[in-house]
Structure 1
């Protein structure tokens, strides 16, 4: 109690969340519940084991007139229990882990929107398809006057920002032109590998407007720690305005900006532009 009394409000919040961030997506509670009940199971197991240890220490402590007991005796029922109980625990954990995994990686046929994501050494590019959104935001007919996509990308001086509409099911198509990365937003409690040569797909529904951080969870090279991005979850009207602003700024393309000569590879510390080009 003395130790807990010294905790700040932020510390107490972290303790209540079991060191997990607040859930800001529809998929997040599934991950959190799995994490919470894993802690409960671990604590129950710990209490039982600690109780048996202390009981044995007190009940069978050596006294001055005791003889050393035989060291080859065994208790068959107890040894069977020690074998069966961990196996059953692993089966239960496996079942619930697969159940949660199936829920958080489930793909619906018609998501509300799609974002093409490119992770590269060492930054991110986000492509937003503007079809109907562009027409709604700009008043244009369905002729895609600003191109099929608008995009934003990081560089050596600026971390990119991924803007998303709240309460929309968003499909992220994940691309990599170089090595394995991992796309994740801690507040969403979901992440997925970005693998060269294949397109992994992840659907997330942000549920809370606000500012968040995202990062690469896979050690991808010497400047892996710089693969950061910001996330802003906004209303649909603000999102439409954001797409229009990107279009007005000329950040448009007929196809997603995903790599090769179109990639905006972040120049690393002490690297020259020629080295940057060789990375692409």
Structure 2
């Protein structure tokens, strides 16, 4: 009976300590140290949940492995007056089965959940269900945004924003400080709660459209269009960046995403229209206008 009381007291103490530890976790810790907050975007929550659950499973496996190692080290340590090698066995069938089945189950489980969440993350909203459609052009070393018209949407479109390369701040002596002028960064507006579809393109070399707090990144490839859909749920300003090495000023290729109300979004679109920025800046402004074709070039021989 005394042993049972000890076991119950130990289990209760462990439960209390675990509860206190979890209650003291910050939001960052509960989010597995991923950037941003829970509820920022639908894709962010999907990927953040998968990331957190993966770490929980891996920590469980790690604790099990270390517990077995420590237990075996203590239980089968050499005692006093013991000499020679301990009793040897060729194999232990239950342990062999465990070491074979457990990794297979873990790999299969991770594969299944990864495939499921990836299929959801890359799913693009059909055209008739989109609220906002934005065409993004990466270029050395800034971003262009075309706000395309969406039939039947409450949100305006038909305008463009042409980004400029980021500029460094200068000190009193005119030396670069290594920081960018915040007001000079390209900005893309999205309405909160709306289904936004991005078409990603490149004007020159490969870039990558990455907003860390959305937990999502997709490349812009010359001659190819990559598309993804997202719904931003929390108003705010989020920093985006190019995540593909694209030349000398790659590190300065930042941009902002401003998630605003529907009224503020339409007011911004109207401000671009009032500034004469109607239509779109399309492929005609691309630098790589001599992409190789599929035919063999003809050799011109000089006449003598």
Partner residue, 1:68 = 85
Pairing 1:59–2:75 present: yes
Find the residue that maps to 2:101 and give its secondary structure.
Answer: helix
1:72 offset after TM fit, Å?
A: 7.5
Residues of 2 paired with 1:241 and 1:27: CA distance? 27
Residues of 1 paired with 2:283 and 2:262: CA distance? 24
1:220 offset after TM fit, Å?
A: 2.8
Taking the TM superposition and a 5 Å limit, the aligned residue runs for 1:235-274 are 235-256=261-282, 259-260=285-286
Residues 31/258 of structure 1: CA separation in 2 closer, same or farther (3 Å cut) = farther
CA deviation profile, 1:97-130 (whole Å, cap 9, x unmatched): 1111111211121211210001122221111125
Conserved 8 A contact 1:175-1:194: yes
Q: Give the total of aligned pairs.
A: 245
Residues of 1 paired with 2:155 and 2:62: CA distance? 57
Residues of 1 paired with 2:69 and 2:154: CA distance? 69
Pairing 1:42–2:52 present: no
Q: Determine which structure has greater relative contact order: mean sequence separation of CA pairs < 8 Å that are 6+ residues apart, divided by chain length.
A: 1
1:71 offset after TM fit, Å?
A: 6.9
Pairing 1:186–2:212 present: yes
CA deviation profile, 1:34-61 (whole Å, cap 9, x unmatched): 0111011011101101110110110111
- Aligned partner (choices 43, 49, 53) of residue 33 of structure 1: 49
- Aligned partner (choices 233, 242, 249) of residue 207 of structure 1: 233
1:26 offset after TM fit, Å?
A: 2.0
Find the residue that maps to 1:27 and give its secondary structure.
Answer: helix
Residues 221/73 of structure 1: CA separation in 2 closer, same or farther (3 Å cut) = farther
Residues 87/222 of structure 1: CA separation in 2 closer, same or farther (3 Å cut) = farther
Question: Which 5+ residue runs of structure 1 have no aligned equivalent?
Answer: 1-8, 138-143, 263-280
Report the TM-score, using the length of structure 1 for normalisation: 0.78
Moved more, 72-81 or 174-183: 72-81
Pairing 1:12–2:38 present: no
Partner residue, 2:18 = none
Pairing 1:150–2:160 present: yes
- Aligned partner (choices 98, 121, 141) of residue 104 of structure 1: 121
Partner residue, 1:6 = none
Question: Which 5+ residue runs of structure 2 have no aligned equivalent?
Answer: 1-23, 168-183, 289-304
Pairing 1:22–2:37 present: yes
Residues 70/125 of structure 1: CA separation in 2 closer, same or farther (3 Å cut) = farther
Asked which structure has the greater CA Rg, the reply is: 2
Pairing 1:234–2:260 present: yes
Conserved 8 A contact 1:213-1:228: yes
- Aligned partner (choices 111, 118, 123) of residue 142 of structure 2: 123
